[in-house]
Amino acid sequence: MTELSDAPATTAIRFGTTTGAQVADYVEILKPRVMALVVFTGFVGLVVAPGHLHPVLAVVAVLCLAVGAGAAGAINMWYERDIDALMRRTAGRPLPAGRMMPGEALGFSVVLGVGAVLLMGLAVNWVAAELLALTIGFYVFVYTIWLKRRTPQNIVIGGAAGAFPPIIGWAAVTGDIGWGAIALFAIIFFWTPPHFWALSLYRTGDYAAAGVPMLPVVRCCCTLWCCGRPRRCPGCSVWQAGSTSPARCC
């Protein structure tokens, strides 16, 4: 999930300077690594659900899951293009790097999202389609737009979006939501925050520069021992009063 970029943290926002996005840019805004995780967890729900789904319909269900996840990721990149330009990890993405126009990304993602939901409903069942639509909407409106820039609890609540895929896979087979699906949801829901916080510990400076209140940025109070002396965590020092740069060892 952590796609590192060598682009400098001070990369300027160059929206509107693109001469045309390439196929690779469209693939990148879909967040293929996240898509892979969604496909895996959705497939697990599909496999463990009681009942049988025709193999062709199973492939269609997984495809719709993947495309729906990609659409949500693309809308996320469209909305966060301003803060992506401020973070070293994301500055090289197509939108902040100026390789794609914002309108292109939004139109592409909306078409994919609507298409994935409609295909799921028409080919599989409408319960799975409604859950897919709910997942996309939750990720975009609740996590991306409402929570991420406002509270350190963003990933605690917003992480539910990443826990829905096994429920969708389950519903694709059964047409309903069973206790097994809820159990799979709970496993991913409780796993997501510590997993994401552990990753964000390595990017606290990025999140601080972009003003994103990830929990390790605003609540970290750890101490590092270096050369026999305690040192503040480099990420924490960005937020210390009077500090202009992270603490460095020796």
Which CATH number characterizes residue 191's domain? 1.10.357.140
CB 171 within 8 A of CB 177: yes
What's the farthest any 2 CA atoms get from each other in the chain?
65
Q: Is residue 15 part of a domain?
A: no
**How many residues appear in the chain?**
250
- Asked whether residue 226 is assigned to any structural domain, the reply reads no
Q: Which residues form the domain of 59?
A: 23-201
Candidate from 8-22, 33-47, 56-70, 103-117 with smallest mean pLDDT: 8-22
Q: Is 170 contained in some domain?
A: yes
DSSP state letter for 164: S
In this predicted structure, what is the pLDDT of residue 199? 86
Rounded to whole angstroms, the Cα distance separating 178 from 105 reads 36
**What does the pLDDT look like over 182-224, one tens digit per residue?**
999 999 999 999 999 888 888 888 888 888 988 888 875 554 4
* Residue 105 domain-assigned (yes or no): yes
Distance CA 73, CA 113 (A): 10
Chain Cα centroid distance, residue 235? 22
Q: Residue 231: helix, strand or coil by DSSP?
A: strand
Could you give the CA distance from residue 232 to residue 127 in angstroms, rounded to a whole number?
50
Write the single-letter amino acid at 142: V
| Mean pLDDT of all residues in 94-99 | 95
pLDDT of residue 215: 84
Predicted local confidence at residue 200, as pLDDT: 86
223 is a domain residue: no
Measured between alpha carbons, how far is 128 from 171 in angstroms, rounded to an integer? Answer: 5
Q: Which amino acid is at 9?
A: A
Residue 17 pLDDT exceeds 70: no
Give the model confidence (pLDDT) of 163-173 as tens digits: 999 999 999 99
Residue in 181, 174, 203, 148 with CA at minimum distance from that of residue 44: 181
The strand pairing partners of 226, in sequence order, are 229
Q: b/e per residue, 207-230, with b = 16+ CB within 10 A?
A: bbbbebbbbbbbebeeeeeeeeee
**Number of compact structural domains in the chain:** 1
**C-alpha 189: how far from its chain's center?**
14
Element (H, E) at 226: strand 223-226
Element (H, E) at 42: helix 32-48
Residue 93 confidence (pLDDT) above 60: yes
Closest C-alpha among 146, 150, 155, 139 to residue 191: 155
Instruction: Assess if residue 100 is contained within a domain.
Output: yes
In a domain, 238, yes or no: no
For residue 173, tell me if it sits in a domain.
yes
Read off the amino acid at residue 115.
G
Burial class (CB in 10 A: 0-12, 13-18, 19+), 34: middle
